[in-house]
Amino acid sequence: MPADPAPHGAHAARSEEATVPAGGAAPAGATRAQPQRVAQAALRDVPWEVGVAKPDPAIVVDHVTRTFGGLTAVSVDHLEIQRGGITGLIGPNGAGKTTLFNLLTGFDQPNTGTWSFNGRDLGKLSPHQVARLGVVRTFQLTKALSRLTVLQNMLLGAQGQRGESFLRALVPGTWKAQEKANTERAMDLLRRFKLDAKKDDFAGSLSGGQRKLLEMARALMSEPQVVMLDEPMAGVNPALTQSLLGHVKDLREEGMTVIFVEHDMDVVRDISDWVVVMAAGKVIAEGAPDSISQNKAVVDAYLGAHHDAPLSEEEEDRFLAEDQAAERARREDVISSDRGRKRRTGR
C-alpha cells in the first residue's frame, strides 16, 4: 500500500478531524478513511469517565489484578478498547502500563480477572495463542532478531506457514509457493517502511529507529486485528517519529485497533482517538485527548497530588506572590543590564 507518511503532520490530523463530522469525503479515498471516522464518531458521545462502556469494544478487561509480592502492579476494574481506533495508554513510570500489556498478550498471568478479545476469553492463553488470534505486540526494548536478515525477520511474522512444521520443512514443494507469496508481501511492507534497501542486512546492523520500524513492519506481517505498541517512539529522532506516527495512523485507516504506550504528550494528543491514563496500577482517567491535560487526577498523578498539601491556601498565595515578585525583579534586572550593553555597543 503506497502510504507516504509525510502528509500526516499534527495539522493534517486536525484538519481531517474537522472534516469528519461534516461527512466530507477525504481525498485519500473513502474506504481507507472509513474506520477512522467510525471510531472517532463513535467515541464522540462517550462520556469521559473511568470504565465507561464503548459502542464497539474489541478488548474488554474486567477486574484484572497482578501483584508482585506486596506491590500491586496492575489493578484494573473495567476497561474497554474501541475497535478501529487508536487508544493511547499513558501514565508515569511504574504505573503498570507494560505489565498490563504483558497480561493482555499472555506474557504474564494475572492474579485475578478476565479479559476478552472479540468476546473470546483470553485468560490462560499463552503468548503465541494470543498472537494467532490476531493480537500482536511490540516491545519497549526493541527485539530485532539481530543475526537474521531484515527479510527473514519479516518472513517470521507471517502466520500459518506450512514450512514451519518439522516434517513439511523437509519437503520444499509444500512451502515454496507460500514462501514466495510471503516474500512479496514482506517486500511491499519493507518498501512502505523504507527498509527495502536493507533487506539482506542483518537486523542487528540497523539503527535504533530502523529497528523500531522493522519491529512494527514484522508485526504487520502477521495481519493482526489489534496492534499493541509499547513505546514505539522511545529513543527515535524527531524526523523518524513523524514517519512512525504516519505509520500508526495508517494502521487505523486499515481498520486495525491500535493500543500504544507513550510518554510524549504531543504525540498522544496528535494521533490518539481515546486516551487512558494509568497511575499506580489503576486507570485514573480516560477520555478524548483534549480532556486529559485538564483532568485533575492526571495532573496529580504526574506532579504528585499532595506536593503542596501542608500549606494553607493563604500561605500558598503568599509564596506564589513572593516568587513572582522575585522573578519579576530578576527579569527586569536582566533586561536593564541588557539594554545597557546594547547602548554601549550600539554607539
Site of interaction with other proteins (CB under 8 A):
105, 107, 126-129, 131-132, 136-139, 143-148, 152-153, 155-157, 159, 161-166, 169-170, 172, 175, 179, 202, 204-205, 215, 218-219, 221-222
**CA of residue 29 relative to chain centroid, distance:** 25
Cβ closer to other proteins: 167 or 239? 167
DSSP letters of 293-315? TT-HHHHHHHH-TTTTTTS-HHH
What is the closest distance, in whole angstroms, from the C-beta atom of residue 159 to other proteins in the complex? 6
Least separation in angstroms between residue 53's CB and other proteins is 29
- For residue 101, the minimal CB distance to other proteins (Å) is 10
The C-alpha atoms of residue 245 and residue 243 are separated, in whole angstroms, by 5
Q: Which is nearer to other proteins, 221 or 267 (CB)?
A: 221
CB of 90 to other proteins, least distance (A): 22
C-alpha cell at 37: 471516522
Output 168 or 269, the one with its CB closest to other proteins. Answer: 168
In sequence order, which ranges of the chain are alpha helices (DSSP H)?
A: 10-22, 30-44, 97-104, 127-132, 150-157, 166-169, 176-192, 208-221, 238-253, 265-271, 289-292, 296-303, 313-346
Measured between alpha carbons, how far is residue 226 from residues 10, 299, 322 in Å? 24, 29, 52
User: Shortest approach of other proteins to residue 16 CB, angstroms?
Assistant: 31
Question: Nearest distance from residue 127's CB to other proteins, in Å?
Answer: 4
140 touches 98 (CB < 8 A): yes
Q: For residues 126 and 336, which CB has a smaller minimum distance to other proteins in the complex? A: 126
Q: Which one, 48 or 139, has the nearer CB to other proteins?
A: 139
Alpha carbon distance 81, 225 (integer Å): 13
Shorter beta-carbon distance to other proteins: residue 40 or 182: 182
Query: What DSSP string runs through 56-89?
Result: SEEEEEEEEEEEETTEEEEEEEEEEEETTSEEEE
